[in-house]
Every structure is written in C-alpha cells, then in structure tokens.
Amino acid sequence: MYYDDETRRFNFLSGLLFGAVLGAGIALLANPQDALPSRRTRAHLKRRATRRLGRLRADVSDSLADAVTSGRGRLRR
C-alpha cells in the first residue's frame, strides 16, 4: 500500500511518542520508592526553576519594552 511522506512521518512520530510514554510508565512502576526524588530535591528543583523563569520573564519584559519603544519611535516619524 502507498503512503505519502506526511503519513509516514505522523506514524513514526506517534509511535515514538507512544513508546516514550509507555517506557516512562514502566520505568516508574518498576522503580523502587527510595529512588524517587525526595522533598528536599524537589524543593531545590522548584527554587532553581523559579529563578530561571524569573530571569526569563525579566529578559522577555526588557525585550518587549525595547520593541514597543522602537515601534513608537517609528510611528512618530
């Protein structure tokens, strides 16, 4: 049977995604409870992610402010 490239790509990617989800689920079920992250580790990761998101938000905010200022200057001309 003939399949176009789009269908082949979709089938491959959906199979890859399904396999990854299935593998992750099996790994979590087979993993002993002691190997799961502790509260301290989760708190550390949360703080780290919060700091990164804060910096990213500041960078995006600065970029947006620069773009708005630049756009206003162009409109005034």
Query: What predicted TM-score, i.e. pTM, was given to this entire model?
Result: 0.41
Conformational region of residue 21, where left means phi above 0, alpha means psi within -120 to 50, and beta covers everything else: alpha
For the stretch 4-61, pLDDT in tens is 777 888 889 999 999 999 998 888 777 666 666 677 777 888 899 999 999 999 989 9
